[in-house]
A and B are shown apart, each in its own frame.
Chain A
Amino acid sequence: MAEIDDATLDYLLARAGLAATDAQKTGLKAAYAHVAAMADRVRKPRGRVAEPALTYGFGEDDLG
């Protein structure tokens, strides 16, 4: 299971502009493994050109 060290956790929180309590940081460190596992799961060998869902498809409304 992936772990996150204190310095990295503090960096991510600071980058997001969020101030967590010590108790929340403890909870976050435990939950981080699940987030990291999910981030691994969505990475597949799909190459460079596979598009995301919800890319724009311009229609007639855009032409006016």
Chain B
Amino acid sequence: MSAIPTIAEAAKLIAARKLSPVELTRACLDRVRRLDRALHAFVLVTEERALSDARAAEAAIMAGQPAGPLCGIPIGLKDIVDTKDIATTCQSRILRDNVPDADAACAMKLARAGTVLIGKTTTHEFADGGPSFDLPWPPARNPWNTAHFTAGSSSGTGAGVAAGLILGGIGTDTGGSIRGPAALCGIAGIKPTYGLVSRAGVAPAAFTLDHIGPMAWTAEDCALMLQALAGHDPHDPASASWPVPDYTAQLGAGIKGMRIGVIHHFHEVDHKVSEGTQRGIDAAVTTLRELGAAVSEVMLSPLAEWHACGTLISLTERAAAYEEWARTRLGDFSARVQQRLLLGAMVSGVDYVQAVRRRRELREELRAAMAKLDAVLTAVQPNEAPKIDQVPEWDVGHKPSFTMPFNVAGYPAISVCSGFGEGGLPVAIQLVGKPFQEATVLRIADAFEKATAFRVGRPVLASELATAQ
């Protein structure tokens, strides 16, 4: 194989028996062998399982009984996702020898869809803090420049997809952990509506902010993965009973007449983004207008209001979830996670409840602002990827996050690449829809991707390898 296909491309070739899942899997494993020494996208590569999955997928195809469009597609699972009989460390010394006896719901659903598990992808410890250099596993590196950060915490999935080690993967998102790595690694990643994808069997970060979702090269690929992941699960107390639509049905239908609000003040005033990021947003707005969308301005409470609400909830819920280990094994956590757990002790019970009361007000504000809109748009990250050794510590409220507002509200939000900024590093836009309107968000993102040229080139690291084969 000389090129890295998208999931949609590979699915068509596999269904037509023009691409063997075993051949595709071997190509991914070969890229892992060549590139992952530099990227550290994987905590564990499950080669035997991958080849077994691929052979099963191939047999299903040859028997005329494929499990669906994900049959034979190589994927990765973030290492906070439980996998039966396969180590799930959460990238923590505390769970270094943890081997679950059951799959997480999302792992099970992707397996049933016929995917091929290439391995467990690098995460920040328990999906928090990072990058950490004081753990038994190194942090993932950005394929566009390995001296730079991937963002986190779904760092390995972001790096692995961008470099073509996997075609898609699972991320989790408590304050931006799908969308951040998607943005800095130049791929697509959607945080679905709270409750759409089961969290059962996935290590918690903050219960009421945690979301599970797909990361892939394109929005279309995210739609294909979300189709397999969405749906009610009685094992997740926050799981929503909501009908699952066809997420690909509206792709390609265009966005003429759709109404998109731009939250200019978030990225131009409240937390001013880099020139490259702003250029990407401005160009994206122009493209969306040219595609026929009606673009208007939206005003919300300042970004710091949303950030404060989400961060107080996050610090407290994390401190509660990990209280026992924090009390007895604090020194076994990475320095960055220790910092977060200690900060949790600074938040009072009353602070937490005031934050949850504020959350209701902010969510109502977003609902009202979006009443006559299909989506809103803002930044994902303030800058291109910083150098991996220049990420500040004790960083909780210094500069507000662009992604946290939509964890606070629980609304679906996708990051898609909107170009390249300083150093040739990717920049991105964030598109946010109404609850359970993932199909609309994916439709806009897909139209944007297909109207631009940002899906053509892979990181040089991966492209060079592909050419050499």
Contacts and interface: CB of A to CB of B under 8 A. Distances in A.
Given A37-B397, A52-B359, A28 B308 contact: no
A18 B345 contact: yes
A15 B394 contact: no
Interface in B325-349: 326-327, 330, 338-339, 341-348
Interface SS majority for chain A: helix
A43 to B, nearest CB: 5
Contact of A42 (B315, B342, B358): B358
Interface residues of A, number: 31
Given A37-B397, A42-B312, A13 B342 contact: yes
A60 to B, nearest CB: 11
A4 B342 CA distance: 14
A30 B342 CA distance: 13
Nearest to B346: A35
B98 interface: no
A39 B312 contact: yes
A19 B330 CA distance: 8
Interface size class of B (residues with CB under 8 A): 35 or more
Interface in A23-37: 24, 27-28, 30-32, 34-37
Candidate in A27, A42, A46 with the most chain B CB atoms within 10 angstroms: A42
Contacts of A4: 346
Contacts of B315: 35
B222 interface: no
Nearest to B324: A17
B134 interface: no
A46 B348 CA distance: 19
A54 to B, nearest CB: 6
Contacts of B208: 53-54
A25 to B, nearest CB: 9
Contacts of A28: 339, 342-343, 346, 394
A13 to B, nearest CB: 6
Nearest to A24: B342
B298 to A, nearest CB: 21
A35 B347 contact: yes
B326 A18 contact: yes
The 4 closest A-B pairs by CB, nearest first: A34-B397, A16-B345, A38-B308, A52-B356
Given A30-B394, A35-B343, A42-B354, 9 more contacts: A28-B339, A28-B342, A31-B394, A35-B312, A38-B397, A39-B347, A39-B354, A41-B309, A53-B363
12 contacts: A13-B345, A15-B345, A17-B326, A28-B343, A30-B394, A34-B396, A34-B397, A39-B351, A41-B304, A41-B305, A42-B354, A44-B358
